[in-house]
Amino acid sequence: MNEYLLSAYIFIALFIIVFVVDYFLINKKKLNLIKNKGVTKKGKKKKIKTIGEVDYLKAKFKLKEKELDLDKMIIVISVINAFIISIVSSIIMLMPFAIMWQMIIAFALLFGLIYALYEIYGRHLKHKEERK
């Protein structure tokens, strides 16, 4: 099997797995707690958790919370996170370097993609807010 084809399969599988875990098991639960003001389905009071990526975007781009659609935001954030993790792992698997160099390149790619993609998404949100 072609090495690039295997990497593409791993990318797709990892993208789907990371998206499902990030969206349904992490962000969706936090969003439900935020919407219900800390009350769970069973009626228990829990500490309201925040979604770190949303807080980062609100602070950096001075977004107004009232105009944000958190349901759509967490879907996009989960897609961004899944893309970052799966693309970095797919690229690193193709590199024939020693593990130390792969880790160094992976961290550089990881931080570069995080900054770039969240910067693009934040500017998109800011532009959308200014149009209204």
> Tens of pLDDT along 50-94?
888 999 999 999 999 888 898 999 999 999 999 999 999 999 998
Q: For residue 39, what are the β-bridge partners?
A: 45
Q: Is the pLDDT of residue 95 over 70?
A: yes
pTM: 0.88
Q: What range defines the domain where residue 71 resides?
A: 3-131
**More confident call, 40 vs 61:** 61
Tell me how long the chain is: 132
Cβ neighbours around 53 below 10 Å, total: 20
Q: What is the pLDDT of residues 103-124, one digit of tens each?
A: 999 999 999 999 999 999 999 9
Mean pLDDT over 22-30 rounds to 89
Task: Lowest mean pLDDT of 21-25, 43-47, 127-131, name the range.
Answer: 43-47
pLDDT at 1: 66
pLDDT band at 34 (very low <50, low <70, confident <90, very high): confident
How many domains does the chain divide into? 1
- The closest of 55, 52, 77, 51 to 65, measured between CA atoms, is 55
The span from the CA of 59 to the CA of 92, in Å, is 32
